[in-house]
Structure 1
Amino acid sequence: MRDLRAGFQYLLQGQRWVARHGKQYGFGLLPGLITLVLYLAALVALGVWGTDFVSWATPFADDWSSPWLGLFRGFLLVVLFALGLLLAVLTFTAVTLLIGQPFYETLSETVDRDVSPDGTAPKSGLPLWRELWISARDSLRILLRAALWGVLLFACGFIPFLGQTVVPVVGFLVTGFFLTEELTAVALQRRGVDLRARLALLRSRKSLVWGFGTPLGLAFLVPVVAVFLMPGAVAGATLMARDLLGEETRDGADDQYDDEAATALPHPARQPGSNVPGR
């Protein structure tokens, strides 16, 4: 429970940080707005041509009598739209981060400099095109994992009782984990932590990750809300990445870790002589 609360505190701290740095907040809104327009256009297209697609995909039902034909294709249309919304939630962060890579790199570095004892921020030393390539490659890998989970959970949704109780909860936990991975990747990638090491690091602190990512995933169900929370989510993920790697925060810094975060359960990165994955 302590790690769950600490994860949520990082989410709040990130929102408070951007609220105190209006220029950085406005800068960080642009990628989310661009992504929102693209996703709304895709969902509108799905709504307009979804019926034609379902009819084309089910020619075997053309001769069914009423009302079975309408009920069957209506059900498939609802399923198709629900799947589209699920994929939009799962992929919104990845696409926004890909579009906004330069924006969020700058935002994350600013947060690091603000809270670092020496006022510096780690840099990858890679050219922009290389960073974009790594980000796109890793995002694709995460999206494939998320899609597999989505298909599995969708299938499990038809199990009586479990599909209406346990499966939605597991779905939000999975969404929260992948959202957190994508967001912390901005800060961890600059520190040379590759995808495999990032996943291992996050799995070692699942409660912290769920406390951060699951409430965010619930909020991201409303695309407009996602746009306005995204800059703060990147800032909070940067603060959490520092915690995951056991990095210190200077006294008196904006959004200094509060008692919940500072007293979070110990993890390997904080133990003397331990090795941080990917470093």
Structure 2
Amino acid sequence: MKNPTNGSLAQTFQTLEEYNPALNAGVEKVALVLQTMALFFLIVLFIIELQNYAKKLNSDDGGLTMEIVTSIGMRYLVAFLMVMASGEILDFIMWLAIQASKWVSSVLPEGTYNMTVPGIKGKVGFFEKPIVFLFSAIAQLAVWTNSYIATIIIFLRAIQLFIFKALAPIFVVFVMSEELKSIGIGFLKQFSAYALQGVVLVLLMGIYPALMQNDFLAGDVATGMDAWLTNIGVFFLIFLKALVVLVLIIGSQNLAKRLIGGG
């Protein structure tokens, strides 16, 4: 199976524990502390829901039955288990995203992730060479910028994932509440979107070189006066495509959120 040669992009294949074991251990300790608060919220929500059901049933000349109490209790038992296993739940979501990233990488063409700007082709005149070199440098700078921005985006994604894992017990507790379940579900959707962003980045950076191949292999470059114009055209197209890819890299998180349905 192919893995990205880019060190930062390869981090999308790592679990949070593999990415930074020390930070992951610290985050798990924070989550453990917050479990106590989450369980307190769980008890409060359980009591409130029982009271709401009691008021509703009393107004209908009825009352709480053991069946209703058991039904509500079972939901909050599930919520209790989710709070206690919140870290494992998020780790499982991350594992699914990592497997998807590996599957995507495994079917991409050979040479994937190897992005280099081609040299000048054909015979270019002495006076035109500085202009062609300038456009070549601009194209190369655009490619490097994409790599650096992707590195920063992946780093920010990792920070967000760690923050979500630390706060997981507090938000997962709301999943089973009738009135507040949107908070818990929204939390899980947001985390899933950050995890899926890794898949989007692997796919995007994987097809990036392929998007450029039409420019690199544009055919024989003419010799003579139009050779330098042909080279400039190739480098300019690389620059424009790199800008488009840059926008997609920056927007990868929003794209993942839309795919998940979280924004």
Shorter-chain TM range is: 0.3 to 0.5
Who wins on radius of gyration, i.e. which is larger? 2
Q: Say which structure, 1 or 2, has more relative contact order (CA 8 Å, 6+ apart).
A: 1
